[in-house]
């Protein structure tokens, strides 16, 4: 696996891959990789000739009171994990390389971006769309892989790609859950051990409802 930091280096590697007729899969991440990320990499390796992974903690999708400065980072560990999973190219740019001085161009999907998570994180999905659009333009993948854990994000990225005529196939992949049922997330490290049962309560409750419906025929909410 080769690691690069510059847009020009990525484009040179992609050009070489495409000259060989390789089909390129892409997994954009913010790093501190877990098995959910690695399941996306696995799918790309299985379906494509070359797999590109990016690690970039994107400042434009964080609000002023959010955790950008303390978001977990460990690029050395991430690199080893990706190498062991047969990724071909790792792109780890700096903020300056991606945005540069005086950056003022943003991408936004109206309507969808203001609902649900977007209603309490104004500007979040504008930052997501901007970085994903830029990465798509840099990597030019045939397929890009996202998890259904972030369902609203996945739907917004699909709509953005369709409406901007970006020639990439967006693949939604199943949620990877930890042993207790909590969806794998880089931010799970924030959860104290004694609070873990609260974090998983919603998933356990919904699973119980599904069981009552599917296996016991119960339709009465009470």
Identify any residues that bridge with 3 across adjacent strands, giving them in sequence order: 90
Cα distance between residue 186 and residue 55, in whole Å = 13
- Contact predicate 129/164, CB 8 Å: no
Strands 50-55 and 89-91: parallel
Cα distance between residue 33 and residue 78, in whole Å = 6
The dihedral built from the CA positions of residue 115, 43, 62 and 185, taken in this order, carries a sign that is positive
The pair of three-digit structure tokens given for residue 196, joined into one six-digit string = 């873990």
- Whether 37 sits among the annotated catalytic residues: the reply is yes
Give start and end residues of each alpha helix (H) in 74-184.
75-84, 95-99, 117-120, 124-139, 151-163
Of these residues, 34, 37, 124, 216, which one is catalytic?
A: 37
Residue with tokens 């799918």: 43
Give the chain's length: 222
The dihedral built from the CA positions of residue 8, 13, 17 and 20, taken in this order, carries a sign that is positive
- Contact predicate 77/52, CB 8 Å: no
Residue with tokens 């931010």: 187
Q: Which residues are tagged catalytic?
A: 37
């Amino acid at each position: 696996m080769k690691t690069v930091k510059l847009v020009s280096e990525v484009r040179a590697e992609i050009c070489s891959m495409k000259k060989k007729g390789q089909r390129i899969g892409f997994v954009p991440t913010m790093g501190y990789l877990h098995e959910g990320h690695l399941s996306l990499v696995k799918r790309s390796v299985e379906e494509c000739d070359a797999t590109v992974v990016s690690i970039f903690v994107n400042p434009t999708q964080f609000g002023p009171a959010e955790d950008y400065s303390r978001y977990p980072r460990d690029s050395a560990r991430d690199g080893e994990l990706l190498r062991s999973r047969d990724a071909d190219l790792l792109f780890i740019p700096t903020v300056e390389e991606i945005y540069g001085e005086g950056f003022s161009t943003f991408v936004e999907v109206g309507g969808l971006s203001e609902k649900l998570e977007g209603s309490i994180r104004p500007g979040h999905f504008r930052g997501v769309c901007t970085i994903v659009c830029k990465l798509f333009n840099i990597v030019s993948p045939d397929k890009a892989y996202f998890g259904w854990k972030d369902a609203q994000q996945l739907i917004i990225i699909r709509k953005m790609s369709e409406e901007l005529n970006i020639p990439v196939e967006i693949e939604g992949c199943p949620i990877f859950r930890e042993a207790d049922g909590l969806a794998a997330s880089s931010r799970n490290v924030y959860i104290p051990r004694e609070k873990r049962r609260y974090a998983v309560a919603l998933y356990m409750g919904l699973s119980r409802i599904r069981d009552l419906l599917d296996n016991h025929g119960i339709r009465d909410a009470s």
